[in-house]
Structures are given as C-alpha cells and as structure tokens.
Structure 1
Amino acid sequence: MEVIGMGGFLVPVRERKTPRHAVRFDCQVVRERDFKLLGEQAIDLSADGMLVLTDQRVLTGEEVLVSFRVPNLRAWFDAEATVARVVHGRRPGDRGRGALGLRFSRFGRIDSSYVKAGLYRYPPTLPGREPRMDYAESVARIMMGAA
C-alpha cells in the first residue's frame, strides 16, 4: 500500500464478495441463445462464478448455462451465468489463449453453500493485477483522522 498525506493509506476496492479458488475441473458451458458449447475446462471457482477456458468468440454480457462438479464433491451443479469478462490471453498472467469469466445469475443458496464447503481445501487464486484503490474511502479516512 502507498502512504499518502496525513499518515493515511490508500484503501483497496473490495470487489469480490467471495474468494476465488485455484481448482481445475471439467464443466460444460453452453451459450443460451444457440446452445453452442463454449468450454469444458474451468481453472478457478467461487460461489459467485468461475473462469472457463475457451477458444470460441464470445461477447461480454452473453447468457450461458453451466454444468459442473467440484472435484471433491459428488453432486453436479447447474447454474445460469452471464459472461462478465472475456480474457484474450494478451495480458501478462493470462492463462491460455482465451477464457471466460462467468458470474452466476441463477444459482441456489443451498448449491452455493455446498460449493463454498467443497472449495475450502483449494488455495485461493492469486490476483493477476494490482488492486484498484478506493480513493473516496481513502479521503474519508484521512479526513476522519485529521479531525
């Protein structure tokens, strides 16, 4: 963290509700509008979404259907998701040629709880880039400290 005036620190933006875990597993991701298979291998998972390898052209915002099984759980999970990010493999740290960051839009609470429980033994995914800073929160903390 960087130190800024009056002894305060920049506060990183808390963007993720649940941690991602580095786990490779089989899945099926199908585009909803034409049922085209987009990917069969995921490389990280959280209770809110996953990162899936692909070589298909996909647009951010597309709706997909996902079926997967966490490696140490026996149950299969089905979810509806939205493509939140398309990774083109151009940034340092991007894995493979392409990947889709999926955000679950319909995923039951019970299923989400099972996934969280199944992920405890897998390491968290390391961030691929520097965290963004929440400048408004940083200024607010500086002002509170100065008062």
Structure 2
Amino acid sequence: MSVKRKLPQRTSVIALRRCASQMHTCIRAKLSSNSGDTFIEVLSALMITVIAVVLMATMLAAAANITAKNEARMNTLFAAQTALATQPEPEFPTGLVTVDGGALGTNTYKVYVYSQDGLTRYEPNFGVENGDVS
C-alpha cells in the first residue's frame, strides 16, 4: 500500500499562481499578435456568409415551390366550384300523386320523381300550392 504524500497548502497555491501567471502571459502575447489571424478570420466569415446565402436561397426556392403548388390547387378548386355553380338546374320529371284522406277528402299534389338503382322517391314541388295541379 502506497502512502500519498500531501503537499503543503502554501506550495500548491504558489504553483497554481505561477502556472496562471505563465498562462496569462501566453494568452496576452497571442491576443496582441496579429500574424495569421486576419486571413483565417476572413475565411471563416466568408464561409459563414456563403452558408447563410445558400440557406436563404434554398428557403426561397422551397417557398416558391410551395406557393406554386398551392396556387395550382386553388385554381383547380376554383374551376370545380365555378363548374358546379354554372351548371343548369337538372330537369326532373314531375308527376301527380293523389292522396285519399277518407272522410277528409281526396287531394292531388304535383311532385318531382327521382329514380336511381331501382328505387323511386317523390318530393313535393314547392313551387306549386298543395292541391293546385295546373
């Protein structure tokens, strides 16, 4: 078993101060020297600018593409809505339905007749008063 020897507190503080002083001197010398830093700084700034321009161009191209797709969809929707709105009302066959009310009497009504898939449906013709068959 090895015994670790502790340095006195004063010695470690002096060593830390000396190391910090040397580091401070080295950093100060590096910061005051301009040799070689300007070219690297220019290259890094240029690289950052190029990356930003490429990202902006990509963003604008994507936005233009999305806008074109949405405009095409809106034009298709508008054309469909216009086609539906300008279609003439379909002509449905009309017929007469006679309802026997027993003691209340018999009434005849004009109705629209709808047929599809073998099923027939009647709806009243609201443009005509009930009982008016003219």
Structure whose residues are more often strand by fraction: 1
Tell me whether the two structures share a fold, i.e. TM-score over 0.5.
no
TM-score range, shorter chain: under 0.3
Structure whose residues are more often helix by fraction: 2
Q: TM-score, normalised by structure 2?
A: 0.16
Does 1 or 2 have the higher relative contact order (CA < 8 Å, sep 6+)? Answer: 1
